[in-house]
Amino acid sequence: MDIAGYSASIFIGISLGLIGGGGSILTVPVLVYLFSLDAVLATAYSLFIVGSTSVVGSFSYFKKGLVSIKTALVFGIPSIASIFLTREYVLPAIPQEVFTIGNYTITKNMLLMLLFAILMIAASYSMIKKIQKGR
């Protein structure tokens, strides 16, 4: 499974380089399903992976004067604060077994992956809708 995970990681890197976004949406499922990591840990690794590649990729734009520090701070500070608060207070408050329906138990990991799936569907629908409006 590691070979599939590393191959998927290469394709994620290529797609990030070509379209410039969507890193965590692609990285978390690869870490969970191909590298068998816990979903909560995979989200933390995803933040590190996507954040570090973004920093490296932004250097050339910064040198060219194409990075607005003010805009980066306006978006960056609230993002970092919300990530910290979510990881410090919200995630620990979610029980390992969220709820049970009959013999089926929804766990914390399943809930996180379900939320990622819903986010992916919403993002893809939004992109498809924009493409169809442009025709």
Please report whether residue 17 resides in a domain: yes
Q: How many domains does the chain have?
A: 2
Q: How confident is the model at residue 77 (pLDDT cuts 50, 70, 90)?
A: very high
Rounded CA separation 114/67 (Å): 35
Domain encompassing residue 32: 1-66
Tell me the whole-structure pTM to 2 decimals: 0.74
Together in a domain, 2 and 57: yes
Looking at the fold, whether 48 and 102 belong to one and the same domain comes out as no
Residue 35 has pLDDT above 80, yes or no: yes
In the chain, pLDDT over 90 holds for what percent of residues?
32
> For position 6, what pLDDT does the model report?
87
- Based on the fold, state whether residues 53 and 2 are members of the same structural domain: yes
Helices (H), the chain: 2-19, 23-29, 39-63, 69-85, 91-93, 108-134
Give pLDDT tens digits for 84-105: 999 899 989 999 999 998 999 9
- pLDDT tops 90 at residue 49: no
Q: Which residues pair with 106 in a beta bridge?
A: 99
Q: Which residues contact 112 (CB under 8 A, 6 or more apart)?
A: 39, 40, 43
| CA–CA gap between residue 134 and residue 74 (Å, rounded) | 30
Domain membership flag for residue 87: no
Average the pLDDT over 11-36 and give the result: 80
100 and 61 in a common domain: no
Q: Supply the angle between the helices 39-63 and 2-19 in degrees, to the nearest 10.
A: 40
Q: Does residue 74 belong to any structural domain of this protein? A: no
Residue 110 sits in the same domain as residue 50: no
